[in-house]
Structure 1
């Protein structure tokens, strides 16, 4: 069994990080795809109704008992990290904010999270990591900067929605790091999916949007959001957070805008501009800077102690 400093640990962390970026960014595409056939409230309600049905059944089959403290902690995390974050993302896309621009604004989460993690959690950030964060902002801006001027019909206040989503995820991240809940991941997702299903179902019913459309595109979006984005992306977010800390896992979010662009190209045929490709390379360089492990200091050689031979030892 390898420890966190073993030979396999960096490779496992890299694989988990790459899987997180791919699955997390799929949520923006699922939001874009679903918004073409249903409002955000309907999409989110059915996403969590289905997710909670599967997760709840699995929890019941295992006859798991959840302590009250863990229940309260994950209800709070679910409200912040699921309801607050996802409603801001989906409502922004619903208002016409492009998926790439939404990913850009949400990718500012690292610098906010790390800035707050230093005084609140006592995490240390090196000068190289701070330079990586600054470089990542530049790369993200290059990837989706063209979107900002290409959609003049989008209401200005719609851009406040992904800002609120980003801040909500920051709050969930710092709350989880501060309280350190110990519930297993599947049980945690069950609680969070349950509270999210209750809130979004109530919202959809109040706005008369609970009835799902019959369009196949809607259910394809639901499948992507439940299987890939939630069980994959959201679950991997907390796994990476537990292994790597706030600074390193937040840095991976810099890769979600270029990954979202790649998803958009595959799903909708959206072209990748040369400026976007340059931004991808800059984002990759930023993540490498932040995730690069410091070289352990080399201990100075110890001089051998001189040995005294009995025949040369002076008498007292």
Structure 2
């Protein structure tokens, strides 16, 4: 008898307990957090739309070459599904976060609003993917949200942003949540590299059009800018989005979203190492609370779906009677 914790879409409950999955989770948290650092690096010298245009243009080109070298093939039906995913997960999410930062919304406020994404995914997952969280998992999500609140509490403030600008991170969270749920429901068979290439291509077209319309498409001839683009492409785009998409496919959308609770404290460490920004006094306890929430969420359910294996005939049963 073989017991496995699954939902009706075939996802293993919580996470697959293996070194590979644990390593993938670490990679997701580290690389996703690096995107905030890359945003700071790039917007020090260019507007947000310039940074996003060249991030996605370079990402789409690199990924397309890798996909061709790997001989990956994509059907027209699969390609059509990648278009709305790219619009939601890359265009809406990245555009909302970067535009909010440019409008003056405090970084802590953006992070706190972004922390609603796992709860939004968990609340809608039952209707969309059939992966409703258990009470224990929901408690873990709430605990993780409390930890995020502690980490970013020192950054909260009124700021100079207009009231309408605070809708931008809300829009970003809605886009990421919707794209995550669609990925979980559709479970596309498109190879990972091709998926990222198509999604980045969609984002490149949109962001390049926006930057060109605002007269911001031309890149500055500075090493700082291209260093920032390399950071955004290598760590944030390929590493962050690649590990996020792979985690959604392996462990389901709710667990992948829950890992994002660990990104604010990790971002604080990035900011300290890169820019000398000392984390606030609540960063360390907030990180501990975030980790506790993820641990609570990832615990196994007591109930399992039992899959019976075919019985193997005994040698005696195989002997014909005389």
TM over 0.5: yes
Q: 2:112 touches 2:148 (CA, 8 Å); kept in 1?
A: yes
Structural mapping, 1:60-71, within 5 Å? 60-71=68-79
Q: So what's the TM-score if we normalise by structure 2?
A: 0.86
Residue 119 (structure 1) aligns with: 127
Structural mapping, 1:10-29, within 5 Å? 10-29=18-37
Relative to 1, partners in 2 of residues 1:17 and 1:188: Cα closer, same or farther, differing over 3 Å? same
Q: 2:29 touches 2:262 (CA, 8 Å); kept in 1?
A: yes
Deviation at 1:160, TM superposition (A): 1.6
Structural mapping, 1:266-281, within 5 Å? 266-281=273-288
Distance in structure 2 (CA, Å) of the matches to 1:127 and 1:61 = 46
Q: 2:63 touches 2:196 (CA, 8 Å); kept in 1?
A: yes
Moved more, 268-277 or 18-27: 268-277
Structural mapping, 1:258-273, within 5 Å? 258-273=265-280
Q: Show structure 2 runs of 5+ residues with no match.
A: 5-11, 305-322
Relative to 1, partners in 2 of residues 1:126 and 1:233: Cα closer, same or farther, differing over 3 Å? same
Relative to 1, partners in 2 of residues 1:62 and 1:282: Cα closer, same or farther, differing over 3 Å? closer
Q: So what's the TM-score if we normalise by structure 1?
A: 0.87
- 2:170 aligned with 1:185, yes or no? no
Residue 90 (structure 2) aligns with: 82
Deviation at 1:275, TM superposition (A): 1.2
What's the CA shift string for 1:206-235, capped at 9, x where partnerless?
110001122332222211110001110101
Relative to 1, partners in 2 of residues 1:158 and 1:217: Cα closer, same or farther, differing over 3 Å? farther
| Count of matched residue positions in the alignment of Structure 1 and Structure 2 | 293
Q: Show structure 1 runs of 5+ residues with no match.
A: 298-316
Q: 1:32 touches 1:93 (CA, 8 Å); kept in 2?
A: no
Residue 291 (structure 2) aligns with: 284
Instruction: Report runs of 4+ in structure 1 exceeding 4 Å deviation.
Output: none
Q: 2:37 touches 2:271 (CA, 8 Å); kept in 1?
A: yes
* Partner residue of 1:200 out of 204, 207, 223: 207
Relative to 1, partners in 2 of residues 1:110 and 1:205: Cα closer, same or farther, differing over 3 Å? same
Q: Give the secondary-structure state (helix, strand or coil) at the position aligned to 1:272.
A: coil
Q: C-alpha root-mean-square deviation of aligned residues, in Å?
A: 2.0
Deviation at 1:33, TM superposition (A): 1.6
Distance in structure 1 (CA, Å) of the matches to 2:128 and 2:200 = 27
